[in-house]
Amino acid sequence: MATIAAEMKSKGIDLINFSVGEPDFNTPEHIIKAGKLAMDKGYTKYTAGPGMIEFREAICDKLERENNIVYNSESILVSNGEKQSLYTACQALFDKGDEVIICKPYWVSFPEFVHMADAIPVMVKTKSKHNYEVDFHDLLNQASSKTKGIIINTPSNPTGGVWSDDALIELLKIAKMNNWVIISDECYERLVYNGQFNSTEKLNRTYNIGATVITCMSLSKTYAMTGWRIGYSAGPQKIIKAMSKLQGQATSCANSIGQFAGIEALNGDQKCVNEMLTLFKQRRDYIVKLLNELPEITCPVPQGAFYAFPDFSHYLNRRSEEKLLQDTFDISEYILSLANVVTVPGDGFGAPGHIRFSYATNKKNIKKGIMKVRRALEKLI
Ligand code: PLP
């Protein structure tokens, strides 16, 4: 979809883009200033492999202050984006033939991280009516003696689902009992609209469960810093050390300027985060209302992140002038070619019938884009 959209854009076609996986805001000014200062001060060289000690200490302070989890800097690994954290965790933890559970719908990279470790992703379905939490009977039915871990992502890309504390606690207990590692992707932790976000590891410690959890977090979404490439993992020292060895051979260290700016992001004024959250919430309410007003479309209210994930299955097997729309790749392509609106087909996330709409765009675009989708749907036979 991105390739077709880029081609259309190069021809001067005006597109509305609901496919964006990053905030549409620029990085807040005080963080940019810190990045400039880093360069002026000469922070332009390699840093310690696991990350600058000052940054790892800032991460420990943040984890204690915001997530109520106490770590020391030896338990932190800074990476070039959380994507590298997740990839490295899978490489360090899983081997040929291991099975790793992934909740479906999933972020597209999860199965690939598992495949690249020569392990086997095992999908467990989740449903919007159950808050996109796993059904624990299904989970146990899919598990085997080869299961080594589970990757969870709450708040979720693509669904915006946020697991309840009860579900996380249940999962932690099952993981402990079966000796599974939980990789908890919490990159949207600050984008939660109702209620408080609780980190999986915080619940693990509060309820004394003793499961092994690798927490992966990012500065990308919280501080609109996707291009700075700064993410990090926190977990048991032995695992972090193994990940650090691997990462050291792959990329030496994370971007030094991004790490320096990251200290300011974590320690500095958090007003920018709350301002973004307020805007995202307004947009969420707006896009969900407009999507639910489309004929035969239902869109659950996402509780976090910046994605709406409506059900378009009513439009499967309908016809455009050119072809039969057999899956959401066809529907998204049809919407793009007829309405110049870019969306992301749910089939890629293991969710046939659904389409992902990112609301990291302003309300004017949201209104214009959804109206165009409506007109395109009305033309289907
Ligand atoms: N995890 C999820 C669910 C994501 O959606 C993304 C980015 O889109 C990432 C991890 C990676 O973020 P980054 O590598 O920018 O820190």
Q: Is the pLDDT of residue 306 over 80?
A: yes
Reported as a pLDDT band with limits 50, 70 and 90, residue 186 is very high
Task: Tell me how far the alpha carbon of residue 317 lies from the centroid of ligand 1, in angstroms.
Answer: 33
pLDDT at residue 8, as a whole number: 86
pLDDT at residue 322, as a whole number: 86
Proportion of the chain in helix, strand, coil states, percent, rounded to 5: 45, 15, 40
Q: Is the pLDDT of residue 169 over 80?
A: yes
% of the chain with per-residue pLDDT over 90: 93
Reported as a pLDDT band with limits 50, 70 and 90, residue 303 is very high
Nearest CA to ligand 1 atom 4: 157
Query: Ligand 1 atom closest to Cα of 21?
Result: 8
Task: Calculate mean pLDDT across residues 337-354.
Answer: 96
Neighbour count for residue 196 (Cβ, 10 Å)? 6
pLDDT at residue 287, as a whole number: 98
pLDDT tens sequence across 15-57: 999 998 889 899 999 999 999 999 999 999 999 999 999 999 9
Nearest CA to ligand 1 atom 9: 83
Task: Calculate mean pLDDT across residues 151-172.
Answer: 97
Task: Tell me how far the alpha carbon of residue 84 lies from the centroid of ligand 1, in angstroms.
Answer: 9
Q: Assign 123 to helix, strand or coil.
A: strand
pLDDT at residue 141, as a whole number: 97
Alpha-carbon span 106 to 118, nearest angstrom:
19
Reported as a pLDDT band with limits 50, 70 and 90, residue 6 is confident
Alpha-carbon span 87 to 91, nearest angstrom:
6
Task: Calculate mean pLDDT across residues 177-198.
Answer: 96
- Name the burial class of residue 144, with classes exposed (0-12), middle (13-18) and buried (19+) by CB atoms within 10 angstroms of its CB: exposed
Q: Is the pLDDT of residue 2 over 80?
A: no
Q: Token pair of 236, please?
A: 């048991």
What is the average pLDDT score of the chain?
A: 96
Alpha-carbon span 133 to 110, nearest angstrom:
17
Query: Ligand 1 atom closest to Cα of 185?
Result: 1
User: Which of 108, 218, 223 has most ligand 1 atoms within 8 Å of CB, for mutation?
Assistant: 218
- How open is the CA angle 277-6-14, to the nearest 5 degrees? 75
Q: Which amino acid belongs to residue 5?
A: A
pLDDT at residue 20, as a whole number: 87
User: Which of 84, 86, 102, 220 has most ligand 1 atoms within 8 Å of CB, for mutation?
Assistant: 220
Radius of gyration of the chain measured on its C-alpha atoms? 21
pLDDT at residue 145, as a whole number: 97
Q: Token pair of 185, please?
A: 């992707």
Q: Is the pLDDT of residue 381 over 90?
A: no
% of the chain with per-residue pLDDT over 70: 100
Reported as a pLDDT band with limits 50, 70 and 90, residue 1 is confident
Rounded to two decimals, the pTM is: 0.96
Reported as a pLDDT band with limits 50, 70 and 90, residue 9 is confident
Query: Ligand 1 atom closest to Cα of 218?
Result: 16
**Sign, Cα dihedral of 37, 43, 44, 48:** negative
Half-sphere exposure of 312 (CA within 13 A, CB side): 34
